């Protein structure tokens, strides 16, 4: 009887405990589900943050790419050069220099204006761009366009060879402005003109390595550029604040003898 009673007691005990074991399993499953939901939420948050970061990085890349494209190949090169030629009073037969010619679109546009009796010097410091320029000159069979490898502090052009020189979005890249400005003066004929087309500092663009600290970002304040070239011996003749987009244009003259 006792044994039977004990068996019945154990059976009853097991029957009572069974629901608590089942409840523990359910609670465990619920906890696992909650952890899964939390992990998924964290992953979604992380994915959202990564997507925003990628979008911002893509915007910065596209902005810089657009800026670089505008600084080199430009479908409006001919119209801009025509305007510059009028402002600087170019004439057929003149010798013009494009400092920092890039892909040469502005140099080749200038060649159309000075004609076969004129001459264009296209200078560059980048080896790949120099190769591209020389290939294009050969392709177009331009006997009156000379490609010149310049230096950080020297145009490498003959003394008093030019009737006009222009730098388009190049001056803010010059790392030795004192020496380079004196070379610009040396390269021009007495009474000849220099045009600087550039833009105010833009901190959304990557910094330019090696330039003076007073630039204040990617670009150059107009006053600083004018002060530097005036110190080199140039005379500021005309300022056009709204040249194209955010660019300004300042035209200088070299004093006559």
pTM of the model as a whole? 0.72
Q: Is the pLDDT reported for residue 13 higher than 70?
A: no
Q: Is the pLDDT reported for residue 14 higher than 80?
A: no
What per-residue confidence (pLDDT) applies to 56? 52
What per-residue confidence (pLDDT) applies to 70? 41
What per-residue confidence (pLDDT) applies to 35? 72
Q: Is the pLDDT reported for residue 158 higher than 50?
A: yes
**Tens-digit pLDDT profile for residues 81-112:** 999 999 999 999 999 999 999 999 999 999 99
| Mean pLDDT computed over every residue of the chain | 84
Q: Is the pLDDT reported for residue 209 higher than 90?
A: yes
Q: How confident is the model at residue 9 (pLDDT cuts 50, 70, 90)?
A: very low
Unique residue bearing structure tokens 């992380």: 46
User: In 3D, which of 127, 192, 178, 186 has the Cα closest to residue 156?
Assistant: 186
Unique residue bearing structure tokens 């020297």: 154
What per-residue confidence (pLDDT) applies to 10? 45
What per-residue confidence (pLDDT) applies to 19? 47
> Percentage of residues in the chain with pLDDT exceeding 90?
69
What per-residue confidence (pLDDT) applies to 5? 47
3-class SS string, the chain: CHHHHHHHHHHHHHHHHHHHHHHHHHHHHHHHHHHHHHHHHHHHHHHHHHHHHHHHHHHHHHHHHHHHHHHCCCCCHHHHHHHHHHHHCCCCCCEEEEECCCCCHHHHHHHHHHCCCCEEEEEECCHHHHHHHHHHHHHHCCCCEEEEECECCECCCCCCCEEEEEEECCHHHCCCHHHHHHHHHHHEEEEEEEEEEEECCECCCCCCCCCCHHHCCECCCHHHHHHHHHHHCCEEEEEEEEEECCEEEEEEECCCC
Instruction: Catalogue the long-range contacts made by 48-51 (C-beta closer than 8 Å, 24 or more residues apart).
Output: none
Compute the average pLDDT of residues 192-212.
96
**Tens-digit pLDDT profile for residues 21-77:** 556 666 666 666 667 666 666 667 766 655 665 555 554 444 444 444 444 446 689
């Amino acid at each position: 009887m006792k044994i039977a009673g004990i068996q019945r007691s154990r059976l009853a005990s097991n029957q009572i405990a069974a629901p608590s074991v089942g409840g523990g399993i359910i609670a465990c499953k619920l906890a696992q589900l909650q952890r899964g939901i939390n992990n998924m939420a964290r992953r979604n948050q992380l994915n959202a943050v990564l997507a925003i970061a990628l979008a911002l990085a893509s915007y910065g890349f596209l902005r810089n790419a657009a800026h670089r494209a505008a600084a080199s190949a430009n479908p409006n090169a001919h119209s801009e050069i025509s305007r510059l030629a009028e402002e600087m009073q170019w004439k057929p037969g003149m010798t013009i220099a494009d400092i920092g010619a890039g892909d040469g679109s502005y140099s080749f546009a200038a060649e159309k204006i000075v004609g076969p009796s004129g001459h264009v010097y296209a200078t560059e410091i980048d080896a790949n761009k120099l190769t591209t320029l020389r290939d294009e000159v050969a392709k177009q069979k331009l006997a009156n366009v000379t490609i010149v490898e310049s230096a950080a502090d020297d145009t490498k052009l003959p003394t008093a060879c030019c009737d006009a020189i222009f730098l388009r979005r190049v001056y803010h890249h010059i790392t030795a402005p004192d020496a380079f400005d004196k070379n610009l003066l040396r390269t021009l004929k007495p009474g000849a003109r220099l045009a600087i087309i550039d833009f105010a500092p833009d901190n959304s663009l990557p910094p330019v390595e090696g330039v003076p600290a007073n630039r204040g970002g990617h670009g150059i304040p107009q006053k600083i550029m004018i002060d530097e070239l005036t110190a080199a011996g140039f005379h500021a003749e005309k300022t056009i604040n709204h040249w194209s987009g955010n660019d300004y244009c300042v035209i200088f003259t070299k004093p006559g003898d």
